[in-house]
């Protein structure tokens, strides 16, 4: 399978990319979107990371603003450039995301799996303008959503940053896997003690360790490295480690619930017994992973070579 990654390239995206680049995935392109940081910074971060890993993958420029023309960033959590690193170099990109993905579809017959780690502006824009290529998207794995917010009382960052785009994507009828913040907050976090203990026995690669420590330093309640963006990649490669629910999901667009992903657990799986709304799409929601297995799998792929 071929893969495409769409990212807002902050600190957890970078750690997820460092992890994914160890996995021999056939990554055909990376597109960036405004989110954690403005889009020009996300382009630079991805390029610097690829250079650090000595890997060449085309990087495309995506949306600077949400469907409603807004841009919310969190440089207080992700640094001005990439966490603890100040990047001296400015890189160029390989063109616009739409051209890049169109070019992929036109020049190959193989389908693609898309992994999104940021707001869904790019993917929604593509689906609206080029619905004829929907059948070429094998699966969409999305980091976003959750039962409580992290940027607003009910809003998880990636969905809250562009709820209209999320709504377009969730109602696209594509096969969707959703990794929301709940699975990371409940199971897939790494404590500072686990990081330092692991690093004593098997030395972590320099960027990974610095990014993990930076992530911990910006966290609270309790301090931990919550690498939200790595879960979709882990699910692709190790689905047996996860429990998954099949639930209808709707993005709330109005009022104080704006950006909330509402799951319908009355009508989950094959059950449909209370006010079933056939129009509401079902998604595969990653629900649990064993904490220890997650931690080992994550850290053991970031060790110094």
Q: Which positions touch ligand RIB (CB under 6 A)?
A: 8, 10, 12-13, 35-36, 117-118, 143, 150, 156-158, 181, 228-229
User: Residue 13 or 93: which CB sits closer to Ca ion?
Assistant: 13
Could you tell me the smallest distance in angstroms from the CB atom of residue 180 to ligand RIB?
9
Binding segment (CB under 5 A) for Ca ion, from list 4-12, 24-32, 171-179, 260-268? 4-12
Output 50 or 159, the one with its CB closest to ligand RIB: 159
Beta carbon nearer to ligand RIB, 93 or 180: 180
Q: Which positions ≥6 away from 234 have C-beta within 8 Å?
A: 241, 242, 289, 294, 297, 298
Partner that binds at residue 156, options Ca ion, ligand RIB, none, CB closer than 5 to 8 Å by kind: ligand RIB
d(CA 101, CA 26): 15
157: partner contacted, choices ligand RIB, Ca ion, none (Cβ within 5-8 A by kind): ligand RIB
Q: How far is the CB of 269 from ligand RIB (least distance, A)?
A: 26
Cα distances from 55 to residues 51, 204, 254, in angstroms, run 6, 19, 43
- Spatial contact of 178 and 172, defined as CB atoms under 8 Å apart: no
Q: Work out which of 101, 117, 124, 166 binds Ca ion, going by CB under 5 A.
A: 117
Residue 180 in contact with Ca ion, rule: CB under 5 A:
no
Q: Which two tokens stand for residue 18?
A: 């460092």
Collapsed DSSP state (helix, strand, coil) of residue 2:
strand
Q: Give the CB-nearest residue to ligand RIB.
A: 157
CA atoms within 13 A on the CB side of 270: 0
Nearest alpha carbon to residue 194 among 212, 174, 180: 212
Measured from the CB atom, is 104 or 285 closer to ligand RIB? 285
Separation CA 85–CA 87 (nearest Å): 6
CA distances from 295 to 174, 189, 211, 233 (A): 31, 8, 16, 14
The correct pick among 29, 100, 118, 119 for binding Ca ion (CB under 5 A) is: 118
What's the full length of the chain, in residues? Answer: 305
Interface with Ca ion (CB under 5 A), residue from 13, 93, 156, 194: 13
Which of 19-27, 49-57, 184-192, 229-237 is the region at the interface with Ca ion (rule: CB under 5 A)? 229-237
| Interface with Ca ion (CB under 5 A) | 8, 13, 117-118, 229
């Amino acid at each position: 399978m071929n893969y495409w990654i769409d990212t807002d390239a902050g600190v957890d995206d970078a750690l997820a990319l460092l992890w994914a680049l160890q996995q021999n995935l056939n990554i055909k392109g990376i597109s960036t979107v405004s989110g954690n940081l403005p889009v020009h910074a996300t382009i630079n971060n991805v390029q610097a990371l690829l250079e650090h890993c000595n890997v060449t993958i085309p990087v495309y420029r995506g949306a600077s603003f949400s469907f409603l023309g807004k841009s919310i960033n969190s440089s207080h959590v992700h640094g001005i450039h990439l966490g603890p690193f100040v990047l001296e170099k400015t890189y160029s990109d390989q063109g616009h995301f739409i051209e890049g993905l169109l070019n992929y579809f036109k020049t190959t017959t193989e389908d693609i799996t898309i992994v999104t780690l940021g707001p869904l502006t790019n993917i929604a824009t593509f689906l609206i303008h080029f619905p004829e290529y929907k059948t070429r998207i094998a699966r969409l794995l999305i980091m976003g959503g959750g039962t409580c917010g992290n940027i607003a009382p009910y809003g998880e960052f990636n969905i809250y940053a562009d709820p209209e785009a999320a709504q377009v994507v969730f109602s696209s009828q594509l096969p969707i896997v959703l990794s929301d913040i709940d699975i990371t907050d409940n199971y897939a976090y790494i404590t500072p003690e686990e990081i330092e203990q692991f690093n004593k026995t098997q030395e972590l690669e320099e960027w990974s360790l610095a990014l993990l420590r930076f992530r911990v330093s910006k966290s609270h309640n309790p301090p931990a490295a919550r690498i939200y963006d790595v879960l979709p990649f882990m699910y692709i490669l190790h689905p047996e480690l996860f429990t998954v629910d099949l639930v209808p999901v709707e993005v709330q667009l109005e009022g104080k619930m704006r950006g909330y992903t509402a799951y319908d657990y009355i009508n989950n799986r094959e059950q449909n017994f209370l006010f079933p709304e056939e129009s509401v799409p079902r998604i595969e929601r990653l629900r649990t992973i064993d904490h220890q297995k997650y931690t080992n799998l994550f850290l053991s792929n970031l060790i110094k070579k």
